Chain A
Amino acid sequence: KQEVTQIPAALSVPEGENLVLNCSFTDSAIYNLQWFRQDPGKGLTSLLLIQSSQREQTSGRLNASLDKSSGRSTLYIAASQPGDSATYLCAVKQGGSEKLVFGKGTKLTVNP
């Protein structure tokens, strides 16, 4: 059974700092890995999608990497801003069933 773990569970940083969020998964038979952002009480906003054959994806200040063989992904946020404060979720899409399996998320607070 696929398990997704995100570390740390919570992170508080001063504005302007670069930071890394970690995601690990136990079963490497995945279609892709997706990073989401969730604001309190809201739905999920897709940030980046990495296919199983890719190593990284970039969008603006965000960069996500994938090491499928070791079951790890990182989300790098450059020059953090208070508006980046949210919970960041990592999800893998399983091969075969195509179920999305989520981690518990990292709650990020960026202090002005």
Chain B
Amino acid sequence: NAGVTQTPKFQVLKTGQSMTLQCAQDMNHEYMSWYRQDPGMGLRLIHYSVGAGITDQGEVPNGYNVSRSTTEDFPLRLLSAAPSQTSVYFCASRYRADNEQFFGPGTRLTVL
């Protein structure tokens, strides 16, 4: 199993640009989540999904969109990048609510 994969590892954007962060898992997990990690803030939930076709907002959803057309993939879209979105982004998955959580390697995003 590859586990949870994320691409790209690093990305630099200019303000106003859009992009998609990719996340995939091959463990047939139902739950998938996107977090951002900022110094002193801990992990904050952006969007999550409890199964294909089902997504919902987390704590900091503004400026981001998600979709879950398959069990495996959960892309995160930045609609119009802003410097406040400079962060490290982690995708994670787990089989059910009370199971171990697996994290992807992260994407370090800088918005100029």
A is bound by B: no
- Taking beta carbons and an 8 Å cutoff, which residues of B are in contact with A? none
